[in-house]
Structure 1
Amino acid sequence: MHSRATSFGYRISKLHRLVARYIRERMATMGVEQGQVPFLAELFHEDGVPQDVLASRLFIDKGVTARQLARMEQAGLIVRRVNEENKRQKLVFLSDDMHSRRDEFFGHLHALTGQLGHGFSDEERPVALEFLDRMTMNMLASIKPEDGDL
């Protein structure tokens, strides 16, 4: 019998909602919405990424990505420019203001990581991360890839 006591999905869903709430509460001071965090984190890692590549890397629908990036651009978090080498493509860059807030942004994410790992031993942390990575790989293997998925 299927129950919440043995359901990975139930627990991951619950954890996701709690993480989203944590992020909303802390990122609000920066004018950043919870759904914008993965885009900003990816752009801090690599700025000037094509819009469609961002969607693929984050496993987010291209239409949802376009709408979210439009809101982010309007809020002054990012700038989109036409790719001079491929005029059909838009490149996404962090705004100067967002670049200057890197430490604040990652401070919130590091605090989240600390909270999630609170009470874990040094030996348990890498094991927990490996389990999460394995679950991710299991899901990637079970879904049909969309155009542009990496």
Structure 2
Amino acid sequence: MESVGKWISTIHRYAHIFFNQEADELGIGGGQFSFLFLLYRQDGVSQDHLAKKLYIDKATTARAIQKLEECGFVRREKSEIDRRQNLVYLTDKAHGVKEQVMETLANWTNILTKDFSEEEYEIVLRLLKKMAGNATEHISKGEGCKREG
């Protein structure tokens, strides 16, 4: 059976290249696009919320938010409800590049789904979501590599 992971890995590597090229002119890394995208949808959320939504560990999330803060795209404020939490808010600078960020994300989707019919698009989206769910379930159960012997 041909490896599904090989193709997912290939897409991931090319996505990394694409987003890094696009983000370069903003002075951020390609990985920060997903954080901006989530914040455009829901501003003023905790770093923990962002980490969970993106399935990224807390340390990586903290570094990404720190980079965005240093570049002037977000600000962090202590939550008034839970002083242990930092809430992340978009700045005017981030709102100024929203269209560019959203267009970049849409362009990548269009590149990946070029010449797909509507039906093919829906099928691949459903299957990818199912695969992501399978991976999440497996890892959340603490099932790493099972060794024989």
**Same fold flag (TM > 0.5):** yes
Kindly indicate whether residue 45 of structure 2 is the aligned counterpart of residue 79 of structure 1.
no
Q: Who is 1:141 aligned against?
A: 137
Kindly indicate whether residue 44 of structure 2 is the aligned counterpart of residue 44 of structure 1.
no
Q: Are the counterparts in 2 of residues 23 and 34 from structure 1 also a CA contact under 8 Å?
A: yes
Q: Who is 1:32 aligned against?
A: 28
- In 2, Cα distance between the equivalents of 1:145 and 1:53? 20
Q: Who is 2:145 aligned against?
A: none
TM-score by length of 2: 0.89
- In 2, Cα distance between the equivalents of 1:35 and 1:124? 27
User: Map of 1:57-136 to 2, 5 A cutoff?
Assistant: 57-136=53-132
Q: How many residues align?
A: 142
Structure 1 segments, 4+ long, off by >4 Å, are none
Which amino acid is 2:40 matched to? F
Q: Aligned with 1:34: secondary structure?
A: coil
Q: Who is 1:9 aligned against?
A: 5
- In 2, Cα distance between the equivalents of 1:47 and 1:21? 27
- In 2, Cα distance between the equivalents of 1:40 and 1:31? 14
The RMSD of aligned alpha carbons is 1.5
Extract unaligned runs of 5+ from structure 2: 143-149
- In 2, Cα distance between the equivalents of 1:64 and 1:140? 18
TM-score by length of 1: 0.88
Extract unaligned runs of 5+ from structure 1: none
The offset of 1:69, in angstroms, is 1.2
Structure of higher RCO (CA pairs closer than 8 Å, 6+ residues apart): 1
- In 2, Cα distance between the equivalents of 1:53 and 1:123? 33
Q: Who is 2:16 aligned against?
A: 20
The offset of 1:38, in angstroms, is 1.3
The offset of 1:25, in angstroms, is 1.3
- In 2, Cα distance between the equivalents of 1:18 and 1:67? 22
